[in-house]
Amino acid sequence: MKRRRNDNRKTFQTLTLVTQLGLTMIVSIGVACALGIWLDRHFGTSWITVVMFVVGVIAGGQGAYGMIRKIYGDDGRSKGSDSSGEDHGSVKKD
């Protein structure tokens, strides 16, 4: 019974994450597009909405990426080391 409860909890956590990611993208794009439409009407242009759409996609992607990194932690590397495995942040003593 306890295992089944843990499986259900994991399923609901995953569904919550997917919903949050989707809402982050939709809200970011929607707000940016609405602002772009308003600016286009205000200035009499027709290209600001397209630019704001791209800005909304980028902002939503960064928000989703940040949320995923926060949930799963960083990629396992320690602070001060790069992908080559060398530690540039420490000072060696002789």
Secondary structure class of 44 (helix, strand, coil): coil
Higher pLDDT, 6 or 46: 46
pLDDT in tens, 41-93: 999 999 999 999 999 999 999 999 999 898 887 655 545 545 555 555 555 55
Residues 23-55: pLDDT tens digits? 999 999 999 999 999 999 999 999 999 999 999
Kindly list the domain boundaries of the chain, sorted by start residue: 20-72
The answer to whether 62 and 55 have CB atoms below 8 angstroms apart is no
Average pLDDT over residues 9-36: 93
Whether the model pTM is above 0.85? no
Please write down the HEC assignment for all residues of 2-20: HHHHHHHHHHHHHHHHHHH
pLDDT for residue 10: 85
